[in-house]
Amino acid sequence: PAIDAMVTALPKVSLHCHLIGSVAPQTVLDLARKHGIALGRSAEELYDHHSYADLAEFLRVLDVVGSLIRDVDDFHRVAYESLTAGGADHGVLYREVHLSPPGHPGVPYPRIVEGVLAGARDAEADTGVRAAFVVGLCRERSGVAAVELVEQVVEHRADEVLGIGLDYAEVAGPPGRFVEAYRLAARHGLQRTAHSESGPPQHIEVLLDQLGCSRVDHGYHVVDDPVLTARCVAERVPFTCTPVSSDIGRYSGSGDGSHRRIAEMVDAGLCVTVDSDDPPMFGTDPTHDYRVLAHALGYRRDQLAAFTRNAVEACWLDETDKAGLR
């Protein structure tokens, strides 16, 4: 249909997509074979999102995939494929890719950066897609471990690593635990974001006031608090929403799924962006997330284009580079 072609071609800026959650099924099989790992199931079974009974189960699938990405070539391949077939082919002009170093046990941080930077360089040369990176701290771990990861980021500084995030199981790690790591990142000029998907509005306040976040990943519960909502509208705080992932993941605490909340956020005047989170693992892609919102909420081209404009505003490029996306 015409709307689908329009949505595919619509320029997109991708601010909420995890590398480990972006690995194509065939690549999972190839990496498992390469490293002599028996998956015990097909990639399709691994990625059958109906089988994720809860967030914990989903995150353990991420652990399996993360453990298969080991050497520089692996990181190159996964970054390249996710930015080209998973990005440029869907109109993605620019992506800030979320990395999760703790999701690759035994892999030194500089090796991850070397591989993904090389993959991104080749993806840009072949398709024009641009990429930068966000290093996710694992909230299931201690505040000390988070500080140590930020120290790694600072020690092995790369221009394309723009900032830090906070992900994995939200119930296991309230944001306040990570104040020290975020302060360290701030002192070194790193940008900050963090996930707040199931958490209450108070957690979003912690992100803004104590972690110094310039945006919020998901943030669906902002609309539970009218005062916080008004503040976030006034301050143009961006929220990186992921309709398909959050709708499947009812464990996100979004109740009736995320679409209703996304509509409330848009209607309140908040700065909302749209992305896929973990595309193949949730059976989605950048086009599909836009299409789902178009169908569920009746959004037309203007509203969909506004999501991209918001993402250009929310991204961490400097003003000159942002101008190139407009």
> Where does this chain bind Zn ion (CB under 5 A)?
277
Between 197 and 205, CB nearer to Zn ion: 197
CB proximity list for 128: less than 8 A, separation 6 or greater: 88, 93
Residues that bind ligand ES4 (CB under 6 A): 18, 21, 62, 100, 167-168, 195, 277-278
Determine the 3-state secondary structure of 79 from DSSP. Answer: helix
A 10 A CB-CB count for 100 gives 23
Q: At its nearest, how many Å lie between ligand ES4 and the CB of residue 277?
A: 5
Task: Pick the closer one to ligand ES4 by CB: 21 or 101.
Answer: 21
State the binding partner of 173 from Zn ion, ligand ES4, none, CB within 5 to 8 A by kind: none
Residue 16 or 177 having the CB closest to Zn ion: 16
Question: By C-beta, is 32 or 285 nearer to Zn ion?
Answer: 285
Contact partner at residue 21 from Zn ion, ligand ES4, none, CB < 5 to 8 Å by partner kind: ligand ES4
State the nearest-atom distance from the C-beta of 282 to ligand ES4, in Å.
8
Neighbours of 254 (CB within 10 A): 20
Report the partner that residue 203 touches, choosing among Zn ion, ligand ES4, none (CB closer than 5 to 8 A by kind).
none
Structure tokens at 235: 């301050």
- Rounded Cα–Cα distance for residues 101 and 167 (Å): 11
Residue nearest to ligand ES4 (CB): 167
Cβ closest to Zn ion, residue 205 vs residue 277: 277
What are phi and psi for residue 147, nearest 5 degrees? -60, -40
Measured from the Cβ of residue 42, the count of other Cβ atoms closer than 10 Å reads 12
Q: Annotate 286-310 with three-state secondary structure.
A: HHHHHHHHHHHHCCCHHHHHHHHHH
| Residues with Cβ within 8 Å of residue 315, at least 6 apart in sequence | 13, 15, 94, 96, 322, 325
Tell me which residue has its CB nearest to Zn ion: 277
DSSP secondary structure code for residue 128 in this structure: -
Measured from the CB of residue 5, what is the shortest distance to Zn ion in angstroms?
28
The least CB distance from residue 195 to ligand ES4, in Å, is: 6
C-beta of 277 vs 289, nearer to Zn ion:
277
Instruction: Let me know how many helices (H) and strands (E) the chain has, helices first.
Output: 15, 9
Min separation Cβ 4 and Zn ion, Å: 25
What does 278 interact with, of Zn ion, ligand ES4, none (CB < 5 to 8 A by kind)? ligand ES4
Comparison of 27 and 198: residue with beta carbon closer to ligand ES4? 198
> In this structure, what token pair is assigned to residue 121?
């360089």
Query: Tokens 């619509």 — which residue?
Result: 10
Q: What span, in angstroms and rounded, lies between the C-alpha atoms of 202 and 12? A: 31
Beta bridge partners of 213: none
Which does residue 162 touch among ligand ES4, Zn ion, none (CB within 5 to 8 A, set by kind)? none
Q: How far is the CB of 314 from ligand ES4 (least distance, A)?
A: 19
Q: 289 near 295, Cβ under 8 Å?
A: no
> From ligand ES4, Zn ion, none, which one binds at residue 252 (CB under 5 to 8 Å depending on kind)?
none
By beta-carbon proximity to ligand ES4, the closer residue of 276 and 299 is 276
Residue 168 binds which one of ligand ES4, Zn ion, none, with CB within 5 to 8 A depending on kind? ligand ES4
Q: Which tokens hold the place of 225? A: 């608090």
Looking up tokens 């995939």, which residue turns up? 65
Q: Which one of Zn ion, ligand ES4, none interacts with residue 139, CB within 5 to 8 A by kind?
A: none
CB of 16 to Zn ion, least distance (A): 6
Q: State the nearest-atom distance from the C-beta of 6 to Zn ion, in Å.
A: 26
